[in-house]
Structure 1
């Protein structure tokens, strides 16, 4: 009788540990990846990459309608900082100056007496010709000029939004579960340049369009290990799908793109 009681108690305890982990969860962890800076002018491009390091946070709800298949819906926030940008292209130093204008006068014409005016009479003031210079703003030149200074260009990335994943468990026991997941994330993606600060660049170079924030769609895939009931470890990789969101854009002479190429991450998750 005592042996049967102990056996029943042990089974009940394991059943409690292995109960379906439905509920609210919170998770976070380390992220690392790569960012790309691409300057495009006509058919010419200068491209460089830099490491991307930071962290990610999620909070949401997970449920397992059946034993081996579940889903997660959540909000998330990613932050990452890049190293100083270096230009491996040996021709990068030949980028033209940020602003170039044509049609400017080369000198000031002298005052001449109009024909028919008697000598000694006041000469009417000459009407200066209307000057309409044509100026181009070269974003490649702007970034190259800054990158050539002593302060490196170090973009900070903020990505925030919501997502959903499907989880498929290959192993699902009372003590642990091992599976894979995949899904998509809809997000806003913002870039902030720490050094130098671009907050006044649109005033310095008239006609330059700054778009620090853009919509992004991310593919999220990885593996998941659940230990007991509440704790899980996730390892995955994110791939942003939109590649051509401009950061700086001139109406007539060049566009600067900054994007995250990918990020891998490892998170700890706790389910309440």
Structure 2
């Protein structure tokens, strides 16, 4: 009788261990995609001088705009310990965002040079207004820490926090208005970027995973500035992006 009892207890312990192993989230390579919406900022310094834009206020001021876009990622996640409540996720990513700061008279049609629209800067040329648009591209690598609060056989739920380093490039309809040989201006559309990444995640079954998070870039792109002591400058930054993402685990 005693031997039978010990045998049952041993079997239960072994079964419990096997169920724990089955319930733990597994290591896997993955690909993912996300829809992103957030806010972008544009800072303009528009003082009196040869590049002064009459259609904009004089001084330094800020525009805010909704930025929408898409993101893709490829990476690997691994979990530590026997129960695998904690893990790490390594990935490469690419984000695209589009923002409209307003239909301001900032640019002229493609092919028009600054010398032919100098009067437009002073508000006297028939040069038409073009929307103040921006496209942003961010590309880099990151690492997230993963924490599972629920770790069942068919579903896990938890949160993540991490950081990424990246390149950050901007394209703008303001470019034609800024470029003119000999004016001493400089366009710097690409910079180094550092981002924080945090949110909630859930994995369902073997392959399906969903993320709901926020990305917070930290560095401004000083996109354009005229020669030292010049009067015109444009600065951009994606301030944050909320995103909903899907990942397929292999």
Q: Would the TM-score normalized by the shorter structure come out above 0.5?
A: yes
Paired residues for 1:148-159 under 5 Å: 149-159=128-138
Tell me which residue corresponds to 1:32. 37
In the other structure, the counterpart of 1:78 is: 95
Give the 5 Å matches for 1:95-134. none
Cα-to-partner distance string for 1:14-57 (whole Å, 9 max, x where unaligned):
88974532121111020011111101357931211111111000
Q: Report the equivalent of 2:165.
A: 186
Change (3 A) 1:269 1:158: same
Once residues 29 and 17 of structure 1 are traced to their aligned partners in structure 2, the CA distance between those partners, rounded to angstroms, is: 29
Contact 1:62/1:72, CA 8 A, preserved across alignment: yes
CA gap of 1:41–1:203, structure 2 versus 1, over 3 A, is: closer
- Structure 1 length-normalised TM: 0.68
Q: Match of 2:207?
A: 230
Matches within 5 A, 1:1-272: 18=23, 20-40=25-45, 44-66=59-81, 67-85=84-102, 149-193=128-172, 195=173, 198=175, 201-203=178-180, 206-243=183-220, 245-251=221-227, 252-253=229-230, 254-272=232-250
1:70, distance to aligned residue in structure 2 (A): 0.5
Structure number having the greater strand percentage = 2
Deviations 1:84-124 (A, max 9, x none): 5257xxxx99xxxxx9xxxxxxxxxxxxxxxxxxxxxxxxx
Q: CA deviation at 1:202?
A: 2.7
RMSD over equivalenced CA pairs, Å: 3.2
Q: How many aligned residue pairs are there?
A: 207
- The separation in 1 between residues aligned to 2:146 and 2:182, in whole angstroms, is 49
The two structures have a TM-score, normalised by structure 2, of 0.73
Q: Is there any run of 5+ residues in structure 2 with no aligned partner, and where?
A: 1-15, 48-57, 107-113
**d(CA) in 2 for partners of 1:160 and 1:220?**
14
Q: Give the conservation status (yes or no) of the 8 Å contact 2:183–2:226.
A: no
Gaps of 5+ in 1: 1-10, 94-98, 100-136
| 2: CA distance, partners of 1:78 / 1:219 | 14
8 Å Cα contact 2:24/2:152 also seen in 1:
no
Whole-angstrom distance in 1 between the partners of 2:176 and 2:166? 23
**CA deviation string 1:111-138 (max 9, x = no partner):** xxxxxxxxxxxxxxxxxxxxxxxxxx9x
Whether the 8 Å contact between 2:24 and 2:151 is mirrored in structure 1 is: no
